[in-house]
Amino acid sequence: MFQLKHTPFHERTSKLSLPQNWRRWAGHIVVGSYDLHVEREYWAIRDAVALIDVSPLMKYMIEGPDAARLLDKLVPRDIGKMAVGQVGYTGWCDDEGKLLDDGTISRLGETTFRLTSAEPSLRWLSMNAVGLDVTVTEVTEKMGALSLQGPKARTVLNLVCKKSLDKLKYFRVMENTLAGKKVTISRTGYTGDLGYEIWMETADALAVWDALMEAGHNYGIVPCGILAMDMARVEAGLFMIDVDYTAANHAWIEGQKSSPLEMGLDWAVHLDKPGYFVGRRALEREQREGSAWKLMGFEVDWAGMEPLFAAVGLPPQIPAMAVRGSLPVKQGDKQVGYASTSTWSPVLKKYIALVHLQRPYYEPGTPLTMEVTVEHKRLQAPGKVVKLPFYEPEWKKK
């Protein structure tokens, strides 16, 4: 019988989750929340340090003389400009310039890369590697991965790592030793805060977890599930596959597909790089003509929403966690887009959402309305379009 897989940290995480709140992620079972409420985990990300199991990420080693050539063919980002020790975030597309997936590429050596993705990508990588001198190896089950996020993350890591993290720059990766175990540490994450991701052999996973939990005790470390991380990633303006966009190869209709330009990844689409890459012609055409849709931020006007609830004698009702669900966004009676993820932002004290908007309604400052449910009735709360991210602390890149 098919069963969801456990991560290398399951022996620890399963005992720490008070509500036994589990979620499915890439064929694995992971903790949704460790507490009955997500507040403590969320504030650990923003005020202290949170430890998150991100092992279900798909991981691939791409090695050989043509490793960079393969990746340059696959992604719109210019891999040739990546230095050894650098990490690059990117999406990758089909021939029509529509997103198949997104993830990070770490250049571990001149001819050695590690790619992470949300969906299985071995077939796509292998198909495009035909005729190239490159080896693609999936290492998802051989590696554990932890995300250490929050303003005190560096302080905790420095207590347990042989080499100091003080000089590791944003989106860079280094080899290190943590609690006597060999690890690689990248200054990356999915929360929009100061953060690191730690990669290790599965046999070393529990030793690394225990060392981090012990070192972080005096700094308020909290194990954090994906529900609190969901709230943080919306504040950071970070989207999620199967929630905020549909992979082109899984879409039923054209309207479900999105390009990296539509998703706000203009900065990671390098149309000035030499040579062909998958989807190049379609993206060049879209850049010339402009995108029909854009992913933007939306802030609900609290003073405008309050009367909708007051009319039935209620205070405003807001979701206690991120809502992964479509909500219509309108201008007057015309629907001009939809919210794909919405959440209350505790740090900003605002009700926010990631919204997909048609041209010309995606310009920042455009007044629109978003659906809210008031005592079983679907109404429209006023708000405005804003640039992403909603939240970016000054210490994130320092």
Token pair belonging to 87: 């990490």
388 residue type, one letter: L
Phi, psi of 101, rounded to the nearest 5 degrees? -175, 175
Residue 371 CB neighbour total at 10 angstroms: 17
Instruction: Pick the last residue of a domain from 235, 269, 289.
Output: 289
Whole-angstrom CA distances from 307 to 302, 328, 344, 361, 386 are 9, 20, 18, 25, 23
236 assigned to some structural domain: no
Q: How many helices (H) and strands (E) does the chain have?
A: 9, 19
| CA–CA distance, 8 with 375 (Å, rounded to integer) | 44
pLDDT in tens, the chain (398 residues): 578 999 999 999 999 999 999 999 999 999 999 999 999 999 999 999 999 999 999 999 999 999 999 999 999 999 999 999 999 999 999 999 999 999 999 999 999 999 999 999 999 999 999 999 999 999 999 999 999 999 999 999 999 999 999 999 999 999 999 999 999 999 999 999 999 999 999 999 999 999 999 999 999 999 999 999 999 999 999 999 999 999 999 999 999 999 999 999 999 999 999 999 999 999 999 999 999 999 999 999 999 999 999 999 999 999 889 999 999 999 999 999 999 999 999 999 999 999 999 999 999 999 999 999 999 999 999 999 999 999 999 999 99
pLDDT at 112: 98
Asked if 189 and 149 count as a contact pair (C-beta separation under 8 A), the reply is yes
28 assigned to some structural domain: yes
Task: Look at residues 234, 226, 236 and name the one whose alpha carbon lies nearest to residue 23.
Answer: 226
Q: What is the CATH number of the domain that holds 99?
A: 3.30.70.1400
What's 266's DSSP letter? G
74 assigned to some structural domain: yes
The residue with tokens 């590429």 is 105
Taking the CA atoms of residue 234, residue 398, residue 57 and residue 40 in that order, the dihedral angle to the nearest 10 degrees is: -50
Instruction: Pick the last residue of a domain from 176, 205, 224.
Output: 224
Number of domains forming the structure of the chain:
3
Whole-angstrom CA distances from 304 to 316, 370, 371 are 11, 11, 13
| CA–CA distance, 396 with 398 (Å, rounded to integer) | 6
42 and 149 assigned to the same domain = yes
pLDDT at 3: 87
144 and 218 assigned to the same domain = yes
The residue with tokens 């308020």 is 220
67 and 191 assigned to the same domain = no
238 assigned to some structural domain: no
240 assigned to some structural domain: no
50 and 160 assigned to the same domain = yes
Does residue 346 have a cis bond before it (omega within 30 degrees)? no
133 and 174 assigned to the same domain = no
356 residue type, one letter: H
Instruction: Pick the last residue of a domain from 224, 247, 268.
Output: 224
172 assigned to some structural domain: yes
What's 271's DSSP letter? T
391 assigned to some structural domain: no
Q: Determine whether the annotation assigns residue 39 to a binding site.
A: no
pLDDT at 320: 87
Range of the domain at 268: 59-139+259-289
Residue 291 CB neighbour total at 10 angstroms: 19
| CA–CA distance, 117 with 119 (Å, rounded to integer) | 6
Identify the helix (H) or strand (E) that includes residue 267.
Answer: none
Asked if 327 and 379 count as a contact pair (C-beta separation under 8 A), the reply is no
Find the DSSP H helices in 256-374.
280-289, 302-310
172 and 263 assigned to the same domain = no
Token pair belonging to 96: 């029509």
Asked if 379 and 371 count as a contact pair (C-beta separation under 8 A), the reply is yes
43 and 149 assigned to the same domain = yes
Token pair belonging to 246: 């549909």
133 and 161 assigned to the same domain = no
230 assigned to some structural domain: no
128 and 265 assigned to the same domain = yes
Q: What is the CATH number of the domain that holds 323?
A: 2.40.30.110
Token pair belonging to 175: 């080899």
The sheet carrying 221-223 orders its strands as 173-178, 181-186, 195-201, 143-149, 49-53, 221-223
50 and 153 assigned to the same domain = yes
pLDDT at 2: 72
Q: What is the CATH number of the domain that holds 170?
A: 3.30.1360.120
272 and 297 assigned to the same domain = no
**Gyration radius (Cα) of the chain, Å:** 21
The sign of the CA dihedral 183, 148, 52, 248 is negative
297 and 370 assigned to the same domain = yes
